Amino acid sequence: MAHTDTTGACITCTDASIKRGNKLIWSEGTFTIPRGSVTAIVGTNGAGKTTLMKAELGLIPLATGSMEVLGKPAGQMNSHIGYVPQTYTTEVDSSLTAEQSVLLGLTGTRFGIHIVTKAQKRKAYEAMEFIGIADKAKMRLSELSGGLRQRVAIAQALVSDPELLMLDEPLANLDLVSQRATVHILAKLNRELHMTIQAVAHDLNMLLPILTGAVYLLDGHPHYANLNKVLDSRLLTHLYGTNVQVVTTPQGDMFVKPTSDRLPNVSQHTHKAEELAFLHNTGTTPKGQA
Partner 1 sequence: MSSLSYDPNWTQTLTTSFMTRAFIAGLCIAVAAGIIGYFTIARQSTFAAHALAHIGLPGATGAVLLGLPVSFGMGAFALGGALVIAGLGKRASQREIATGTVLAFATGLGLYFARLSSSASQQFQSILFGSILTISPNQIVGFIVFDVILLAIMAVVYRPMLFSSLDEQVAQAKGVPITLMNVLFMAILAGVITITVPAVGTLLIFALVVTPAATANMMTASPFASMVTAMVICLISIWGGLILATMFPAPPSFAIVTLSTLFWIIMKIVEAVRNR
CA-to-CA separations, 49 to 80, 111, 131, 136, 169, in angstroms, rounded: 21, 33, 26, 32, 10
Contact call for residue 120 and partner 1 (CB under 8 A) = no
Site string for partner 1, 15-54 (x = CB under 8 A): ----------------------------------------
Contact call for residue 59 and partner 1 (CB under 8 A) = yes
CB of 167 to partner 1, least distance (A): 12
Burial of 161 (0-12, 13-18, 19+ CB in 10 A): middle
Q: What angle do CA 17, 217, 39 make, to 5 degrees?
A: 105
Contact call for residue 121 and partner 1 (CB under 8 A) = no
**Which is nearer to partner 1, 84 or 217 (by Cβ)?**
84
**Cβ–Cβ under 8 Å, residues 123 and 117:** no
Contact call for residue 145 and partner 1 (CB under 8 A) = no
Burial 166-180 (b: 16+ CB within 10 A, else e): bbbbbbbebeeebbe
- What DSSP string describes 170-231? TTTT--HHHHHHHHHHHHHHHHHH--EEEEE-S--TTTGGG-SEEEEEETTEEEEEEHHHHT
Contact call for residue 113 and partner 1 (CB under 8 A) = yes
**Which is nearer to partner 1, 136 or 223 (by Cβ)?**
136
Contact call for residue 85 and partner 1 (CB under 8 A) = yes
Binding residue count for partner 1, defined by CB under 8 A:
31
CB of 78 to partner 1, least distance (A): 6
Binding site for partner 1 (CB under 8 A): 57, 59, 78-79, 81, 83-85, 87, 93-97, 100-101, 104-105, 107-114, 138, 140, 153, 156-157
